[in-house]
Amino acid sequence: MKYLQLIPILLLMLTTLGTQANTGCRSSSTTYTYINPEGRLRNGVPSYYHRYESDRLLSTSTYCVVDTDSPCYIYATRSGYSSSPGELVEYNPVNNCDIDSYVAVMVVICSGMGFMMLKRKSHIFSID
């Protein structure tokens, strides 16, 4: 019975699995994040293709962007062949910044569990 109290914590952990961040290369000269990785390193730096319009996103449509301070290259093959430097970033394509929307729920759960521990004078997670 006392293990049923772990169910809300496990559910919160499972809901964050679907909100993994994606990796892309944000161009330093434009407002685009390139999302089509080439799959190999060039001089130790990851590279991203720009062949089609679907290979890039507007930076305004990427959320929760985290700079990694790592360089990357964007190789454009649409009009000849050119490369430009960029910065490797992690982003989320939907406006759901992982744990931010669950903080209130976690505070309520932790407060309730603390109140129950004080009321019962016994430990929920006892090490016997």
CA distances from 116 to 12, 45, 109, 112, 126 (A): 20, 53, 11, 6, 14
Place of tokens 């000849």: 80
pLDDT tens digit sequence for 13-58: 666 555 567 888 888 776 888 888 887 787 888 888 888 888 888 8
CA distance 90 to 25: 9
Q: Which two tokens stand for residue 41?
A: 């390193």
Q: What is the pTM of this model?
A: 0.56
- Cα-Cα-Cα-Cα torsion 100, 62, 26, 75, nearest 10 degrees, comes to 140
pLDDT tens digit sequence for 69-87: 888 888 887 666 788 888 8
